[in-house]
Amino acid sequence: MASALQRALSTRAGASAVSAARVIVAVVFIAAALPKIVDPAGFAEDIRNYEVFPLWSSNLLAGVVPMLELTGAIAILTGWKRRGAALLLGLLTASFIALIASAIARDLNIDCGCFGQQSEAQAVGWPRLLEDVGLLALIVVAALNPKRPRPSALVASR
């Protein structure tokens, strides 16, 4: 299994898939972070609507969470501490999944706040949950380390 994965990653297609996953993950998190950074008070309101976190923490989370998203996205895109960034974004996304699942379980009809309040409202629900599960899968792919094909292998394949 592991060797099959290594073989897949050593192909050009595998390496391209990993690169694409990194770009997609970075773009999604940057797009999610910027509106929240522009309007942190609106994001704090979104956080309070989940009725999970204590009131005192909502503004702190509204300040820190978008920076976690932005820092992770830049790191995964540039390759600086890439695996740490993937773990950070993975944990964030897992938290979002848990939050959305709890909102669904409590039948809350609220804006998910995924892309802040600058964007069109996205109600919490199964589509948002599935999107985040898909994003988590992409983060796992983005964390993989494709090995460059050896020159001899390239020659042999011609």
Residues that bind another protein (CB under 8 A): 37, 40-41, 44-45, 48-49, 51, 55-56, 58-60, 62-68, 70-72, 75, 81, 83-85, 87-88, 91, 107-110, 121, 123
With beta carbons less than 8 A apart as the criterion, state whether 123 and 111 touch.
yes
CA distances from 157 to 3, 15, 17, 149, 152 (A): 19, 17, 20, 11, 9
> Nearer Cβ to another protein, position 84 or 150?
84
> Nearer Cβ to another protein, position 70 or 141?
70
CB count in 10 Å sphere of residue 79: 9
Q: How far apart are CA 78 and CA 25, in angstroms?
A: 12
Quick one: which of 143, 139, 149 has its CA closest to 7? 149
> Nearer Cβ to another protein, position 41 or 130?
41
CA 139 vs. chain centroid, Å, equals 6
